[in-house]
A and B are shown apart, each in its own frame.
Chain A
Amino acid sequence: MKFSEILRYLFFGILFGFVLVKSEVISWFRIQEMFLFDSFHMYGIIGSAVLVGLISIQLIKKFNIKDSNGDPIVISPKDPSTVRRYIIGGTIFGLGWSMVGACPAPLFILLGSGLSIFIIPIAFAAFGTWVYGATMHKLPH
């Protein structure tokens, strides 16, 4: 990978991490507040993020916008042939999301903010992914 590419992804990551801190998305309290339906905050964030993403993708498709190398932009679709894996896997993730109060990216952002204890859920999330890889052929998809 070129050095400029490394800097680019690093910058996007920093931007993303910074915004997730300032919007308090990384807060366990905010996640509970969302699931308790006590505040519009998280719904506003997810909703407006989806809206901006949706408009951007439609514009990219409509005007056939190319990437910075001049190549056509490819958006990998999710496999639509099944429902079970999304409901079961999604529910399992939802349990962890509310319990730890963080989804994958915030685990690392919280670690960066100085909360070293988050290395534990990060390690166990990697282990959980490994167990999925080891058992996926026996799981309903």
Chain B
Amino acid sequence: MIELLTQPWPWYVAGPLIGLIIPLLLIFGNKTFGFSSNFRHFCAACIPTNLTFFKYNWKKEGGWNLIFLVGTIIGGFIGGFLLMNPEPIVLSQGTVQTLSTEMGITDFTGFVPSEIFNWETLATPTGIIVLALGGFLIGFGTRYAGGCTSGHAISGLANLQLASLIAVIGFFIGGLLMTYIILPALL
């Protein structure tokens, strides 16, 4: 049983479970699944300004989502710490090859390359760009596009929203540019 909870799950188990979050939130709460609004709720709650975009009742509109967010942190702790998979992720050979030759990645253990994602790297130009600018682009871009992977790629597409399909095309334009051109030049 414990082994079932520590080992990685195949896509055909994980994907449908993620999809089920949509009807669960709709039926038990009447909420449309989407995660990135939480950054807006943060700003509305913590950065007092006169901006109309942040003037709304964040507790009423976003309270449930902020609690959901706390849940994801706990889920990460249970799944990624308490019940951590001790084995490195089984990546395709092509990806390992590309990441090591084009981006100089050597450590393939854990969820993220330890060379980039650590507190020491934060003091280097690469660290600032990846961690700070990367985070900025996520927060700015999701709000500009009106949703992230959960709001557009999962619930938007599931609800047959053309806007979401366009946003997902945008996600891939940006992602492909980064993976094929910018990251190899940066790392």
Residues of B with C-beta under 8 A to A104: 35-36, 38-39, 138-139, 142, 148-150
Determine if A120 and B155 form an interchain contact, defined as CB atoms under 8 angstroms apart: no
Residues of B with C-beta under 8 A to A111: 73, 76
- Residue in A19, A79, A116, A123 whose Cβ sees the most chain B Cβ within 10 Å: A19
Interface residues of B in 34-72 (CB under 8 A from A): 35-36, 38-40, 42-43, 46-47, 49, 51, 53-54, 63-65, 67-72
Determine if A128 and B54 form an interchain contact, defined as CB atoms under 8 angstroms apart: no
Q: How far, in Å, is A64 (CB) from chain B's closest CB? A: 13
Residues of B with C-beta under 8 A to A53: 19, 22-23, 154-155, 157-159
From DSSP, what is the main secondary structure of chain B's interface residues? Answer: helix
Determine if B76 and A65 form an interchain contact, defined as CB atoms under 8 angstroms apart: no
Residues of B with C-beta under 8 A to A1: 63-64, 67
B-facing mask of A76-115, CB < 8 A → 1, else 0? Answer: 1111101101111111111111111111110111111111
Q: How large is the interface on A (under 10, 10 to 19, 20 to 34, 35 or more residues)?
A: 35 or more
Residues of A with C-beta under 8 A to B23: 53, 56-57, 59-60
Determine if A52 and B122 form an interchain contact, defined as CB atoms under 8 angstroms apart: no
Closest to A52 in B: B19
Interface residues of B in 1-57 (CB under 8 A from A): 5, 8-9, 11-30, 32, 35-36, 38-40, 42-43, 46-47, 49, 51, 53-54
Q: How large is the interface on B (under 10, 10 to 19, 20 to 34, 35 or more residues)?
A: 35 or more
A-facing mask of B63-99, CB < 8 A → 1, else 0? Answer: 1110111111111111111001100010110110011
A-facing mask of B136-173, CB < 8 A → 1, else 0? Answer: 11111111111111101111111111111011111111
* B185 contacts the other chain (CB 8 A): no
Determine if A98 and B174 form an interchain contact, defined as CB atoms under 8 angstroms apart: yes
* A65-B27, A89-B142, A136-B53 known; A17+B91 contact, CB < 8 A: no
Give Cα A125 to B17, complex, Å: 27
Closest to A96 in B: B137
Determine if A17 and B72 form an interchain contact, defined as CB atoms under 8 angstroms apart: yes
Residues of B with C-beta under 8 A to A101: 112
Determine if B29 and A89 form an interchain contact, defined as CB atoms under 8 angstroms apart: no
Contact surface of A with B, Cβ cutoff 8 Å: 1, 5-6, 8-36, 38-42, 44-54, 56-57, 59-60, 65, 67-69, 71, 73-80, 82-83, 85-105, 107-118, 120-134, 136, 139
Contact surface of B with A, Cβ cutoff 8 Å: 5, 8-9, 11-30, 32, 35-36, 38-40, 42-43, 46-47, 49, 51, 53-54, 63-65, 67-81, 84-85, 89, 91-92, 94-95, 98-99, 108, 111-113, 117-119, 122, 129-150, 152-164, 166-180, 182-183
Considering the complex of A and B, which 9 residue pairs feature the smallest CB-CB distances, nearest first? A13-B71, A90-B170, A17-B75, A94-B174, A113-B80, A112-B76, A52-B19, A89-B144, A128-B139
Q: List 30 contacting pairs A-B, 8 Å CB cutoff, sorted by A.
A: A5-B64, A9-B64, A14-B78, A16-B18, A20-B79, A28-B112, A40-B11, A48-B16, A51-B15, A52-B20, A56-B23, A56-B158, A57-B158, A69-B30, A87-B170, A88-B170, A90-B174, A93-B138, A93-B141, A94-B177, A109-B73, A109-B79, A112-B80, A113-B111, A114-B77, A117-B117, A121-B138, A126-B139, A128-B138, A133-B54
